[in-house]
């Protein structure tokens, strides 16, 4: 319940300050526009469009998800949070906020992308949805943990994508592979291993996050 | 009385290579007003953060006991109230929204009567629905006392409690400190003579600034 209350506080704060939403929307629009302009009249392959989809999502996540902790640090309210809630509550609340933000952001990206790119045609929608859901959960957990680490650093803007890249790389590679399979085939049989990798990634990240967050948060 | 006990043993803190203080012992029990003083940079705020469980000491241990049982660090925040210039409330919310959000996150209930009493006591009742963004520094300081007291904590940490306050604000603070100290522990870190005058004992942190050998 406390984590949900923290999520509601963050949501109310976000709706008033538009701290993350504005930068996310601008980033999505600019990135998709740049890809559209750079392609021009060229015909790109289906698989390339699938790969670019996750590139847009990766960089959009990098522009908005760090806000969960960076905004608290910049406003000086980190200590206030420490005084009202346990580290577990804080991480759960922030993770819930980032989960909602990631899903909202990625649904918008997916809709825009499928409307604007003719080559982006998913044949196996249920496989794509499984990958999409597990992938979004993984992105949200990893981004929240990395945001808590970089919040106290002086060069947050640069550090966030740099630190995220190696941590999100296995997730992104698996997601690109699964998207390719969802565009290529209508069966599940060849995708179980990749789906299991996504599931394991999410479980490992959530376990590592709750174990590490106490140390990150206190010092 | 609260039967709350704080024991801090051999507390040392080092930032980088700089020793802030070394082997400080501090304990308090049940109720009363305790002071911590020292010149600027002596580590008063750091020591207060350590004994309130907000940050860890480099060496030593801090134990909080309630009813003879040690309090888990996960639950400690519900036992403590903290007022300091570096405690910042959310500018985008009104004063009452801040308090309401904090209480929900803590998972504690408060009555409207208690809320109104505290806002009345600190002279903010008619401005309670204003955004904190529009508050003066003195009003923010008063609001921090409401933030620290709304959940009825067992131990209160006040760092420079009278900073930014006018004379009537200072009187309210001293009155609050005296009332709270009847049943709870109040620890004040300050350099103000008037703040330290109400303390039953004062820890001088400068005495613990030894060399790092």
Q: Give A-chain residues touching B101 at CB under 8 angstroms.
A: 5, 8-9, 12
Task: Tell me whether residues B104 and A5 touch, CB distance under 8 A.
Answer: yes
Task: Tell me if A82 sits within 8 A of A151, measured CB to CB.
Answer: no
Task: Tell me whether residues B90 and A93 touch, CB distance under 8 A.
Answer: no
Categorize the per-residue pLDDT at B146 as very low, low, confident or very high, splitting at 50, 70 and 90.
very high
Give the DSSP letter of residue B131: B
How many distinct structural domains can be found in chain B?
Answer: 1
Q: Give B-chain residues touching A10 at CB under 8 angstroms.
A: none
Task: Tell me whether residues B77 and A82 touch, CB distance under 8 A.
Answer: yes
Task: Tell me whether residues A75 and B88 touch, CB distance under 8 A.
Answer: yes
Residue B213 has pLDDT above 60, yes or no: no
Task: Tell me whether residues A75 and B90 touch, CB distance under 8 A.
Answer: yes
Tokens of residue A84, six digits = 């009202």
pLDDT in tens, B112-122: 888 899 999 98
Give the DSSP letter of residue B53: T
**Is residue B152 in some structural domain?**
yes
For residues B21 and B10, what is the distance between their CA atoms, to the nearest angstrom?
Answer: 10
For residues B209 and B213, what is the distance between their CA atoms, to the nearest angstrom?
Answer: 12
Residues above pLDDT 70, as percent of chain B: 97
**Is residue B40 in some structural domain?**
yes
> Is B194 within 8 Å of chain A by CB?
no
Residue B212 has pLDDT above 70, yes or no: no
For residues B122 and B135, what is the distance between their CA atoms, to the nearest angstrom?
Answer: 14
Tokens of residue A57, six digits = 């999502």
Q: What is the pLDDT of residue A61?
A: 85
pLDDT in tens, B157-211: 999 998 888 898 899 889 999 998 999 999 999 988 888 888 888 888 877 765 5
**Is residue B213 in some structural domain?**
no
Task: Tell me if A141 sits within 8 A of A209, measured CB to CB.
Answer: yes
Vertex A59, ends A58 and A61: CA angle to 5°? 70
For residues A74 and A61, what is the distance between their CA atoms, to the nearest angstrom?
Answer: 19
Q: What is the pLDDT of residue A24?
A: 85
In the numeric block, the tokens 């529009």 are attached to: B134
> Is B107 within 8 Å of chain A by CB?
yes
Domain CATH number, residue B51: 3.40.50.300
Task: Tell me whether residues B88 and A8 touch, CB distance under 8 A.
Answer: no
- The whole-angstrom distance between A86's CA and the closest CA on chain B is 5
- The whole-angstrom distance between B108's CA and the closest CA on chain A is 10
Tokens of residue B56, six digits = 């860890």
Task: Tell me whether residues B87 and A80 touch, CB distance under 8 A.
Answer: yes
The list of chain A residues with pLDDT below 70 reads 219
Q: What is the pLDDT of residue A107?
A: 93
Residue B159 vs residues B85, B148, B179, B188: alpha-carbon distances, Å: 7, 12, 18, 6
Nearest CB to B92; choose among A16, A86, A218: A16
- The whole-angstrom distance between B89's CA and the closest CA on chain A is 6
Q: What is the pLDDT of residue B210?
A: 56
For residues B205 and A19, what is the distance between their CA atoms, to the nearest angstrom?
Answer: 41
Give the DSSP letter of residue A89: H
Q: Helical H runs in A65-154?
A: 67-75, 78-84, 87-116, 125-150
Helix (H) or strand (E) holding B26: strand B18-29
Beta strand B18-29 pairing with B32-37: unpaired
- State phi, psi for B28 to the nearest 5 degrees: -150, 160
Q: What is the pLDDT of residue B1?
A: 56
Cα dihedral B138, B141, B145, B146, rounded to 10, equals 80
For residues B102 and B107, what is the distance between their CA atoms, to the nearest angstrom?
Answer: 8
| Long-range residue pairs from B179-183, CB within 8 A, at least 24 positions apart, any chain | B180/B149, B180/B156, B181/B31, B181/B32, B181/B33, B182/B31, B183/B1, B183/B2, B183/B31
Sign of CA pseudo-dihedral A85, A86, A87, A91: negative
For residues B188 and B160, what is the distance between their CA atoms, to the nearest angstrom?
Answer: 7
Q: What is the pLDDT of residue A130?
A: 92
Residues of chain A whose beta carbon is less than 8 angstroms from a beta carbon of chain B are 1-2, 5-6, 8-9, 12-13, 16-17, 75-77, 79-80, 82-89, 93, 218-219
Which residue of A4, A10, A82, A83 is the best one to mutate when testing the B interface, meaning the one whose CB has the most B CBs within 10 A? Answer: A83
pLDDT in tens, B157-172: 999 998 888 898 899 8
Task: Tell me whether residues A17 and B92 touch, CB distance under 8 A.
Answer: yes
Tell me the mean pLDDT in the region B132-137.
92
pLDDT in tens, A140-172: 999 999 988 888 777 777 788 888 889 999 999
Nearest CB to B105; choose among A9, A13, A76: A9
> Is B75 within 8 Å of chain A by CB?
yes
Q: Where are the domains of chain A?
A: 2-218
For residues B171 and B150, what is the distance between their CA atoms, to the nearest angstrom?
Answer: 19
Residue B211 vs residues A165, B50, B74, B113, B208: alpha-carbon distances, Å: 43, 20, 34, 52, 9
- Give the domain range for residue B77: 4-208
pLDDT in tens, B30-62: 888 999 998 888 889 999 999 998 888 999 999
Please determine, for the modelled complex, whether the ipTM score is greater than 0.85: yes
CB pairs under 8 A between A and B: 71
> Is B178 within 8 Å of chain A by CB?
no
Task: Tell me whether residues A93 and B105 touch, CB distance under 8 A.
Answer: yes
Sign of CA pseudo-dihedral A66, B88, A12, A83: positive
In a 3-state reduction of DSSP, which class is residue B185?
A: strand
Categorize the per-residue pLDDT at B83 as very low, low, confident or very high, splitting at 50, 70 and 90.
very high
The partner residues of B94 in beta bridges, in order of sequence, read: B131
pLDDT in tens, B97-112: 999 999 999 888 878 8
Task: Tell me whether residues B90 and A1 touch, CB distance under 8 A.
Answer: no
Q: What is the pLDDT of residue B193?
A: 87
Q: Please, which residues have CB within 8 angstroms of residue B2's CB and are 6 or more apart in sequence? A: B30, B31, B66, B154, B155, B183, B184, B185
**Is residue B192 in some structural domain?**
yes
Q: What is the pLDDT of residue B209?
A: 67
- The whole-angstrom distance between B10's CA and the closest CA on chain A is 19
Tell me the mean pLDDT in the region B70-79.
88
């Amino acid at each position: 319940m406390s984590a949900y209350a923290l999520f509601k506080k963050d949501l109310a704060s976000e709706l008033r300050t538009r701290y993350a939403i504005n930068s996310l929307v601008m980033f999505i629009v600019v990135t998709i526009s740049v890809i559209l302009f750079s392609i021009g009249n060229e015909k790109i392959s289906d698989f390339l469009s699938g790969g670019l989809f996750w590139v847009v999502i990766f960089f959009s996540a990098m522009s908005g998800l760090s806000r969960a902790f960076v905004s608290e640090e910049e406003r000086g309210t980190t200590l206030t949070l420490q005084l009202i809630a346990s580290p577990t509550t804080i991480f759960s609340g922030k993770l819930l906020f980032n989960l909602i933000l990631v899903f909202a952001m990625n649904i918008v990206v997916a809709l825009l992308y499928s409307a604007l790119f003719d080559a982006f045609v998913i044949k196996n929608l249920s496989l794509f949805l499984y990958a999409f859901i597990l992938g979004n959960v993984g992105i949200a957990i990893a981004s929240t943990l990395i945001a808590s680490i970089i919040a106290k650093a002086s060069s947050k803007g640069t550090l966030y994508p740099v630190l995220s890249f190696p941590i999100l790389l296995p997730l992104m590679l698996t997601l690109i592979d699964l998207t390719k399979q969802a565009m290529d085939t209508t069966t599940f049989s060849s995708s179980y291993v990749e789906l299991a990798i996504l599931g394991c990634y999410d479980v490992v990240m959530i376990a590592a996050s709750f174990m590490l967050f106490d140390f990150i948060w206190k010092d | 009385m609260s039967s709350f006990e704080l024991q801090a043993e051999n507390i040392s803190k080092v930032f980088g290579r700089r020793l802030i203080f070394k082997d400080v012992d501090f304990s308090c029990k049940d109720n009363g007003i305790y002071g911590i003083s020292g010149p600027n940079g002596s580590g008063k705020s750091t020591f207060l953060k350590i004994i309130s469980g907000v940050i860890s000491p480099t060496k030593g241990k801090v134990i909080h006991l309630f009813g003879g049982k040690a309090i888990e660090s996960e639950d400690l925040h519900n036992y403590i109230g903290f007022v300091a210039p570096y405690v910042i409330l959310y500018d985008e919310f009104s004063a009452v929204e801040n308090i309401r959000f904090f209480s929900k996150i803590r998972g504690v209930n408060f009555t409207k009567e208690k809320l109104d009493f505290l806002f009345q006591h600190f002279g903010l009742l008619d401005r309670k629905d204003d955004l904190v963004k529009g508050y003066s520094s003195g009003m923010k300081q008063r609001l921090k006392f409401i933030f620290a007291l709304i959940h009825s904590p067992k131990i209160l940490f006040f760092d420079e409690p009278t900073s930014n306050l006018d004379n009537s604000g200072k009187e309210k603070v001293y009155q609050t400190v005296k009332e709270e100290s009847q049943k709870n522990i109040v620890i004040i870190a300050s350099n103000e003579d008037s703040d330290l005058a109400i303390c039953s004992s004062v820890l001088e942190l400068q005495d613990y600034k030894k060399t790092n050998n």
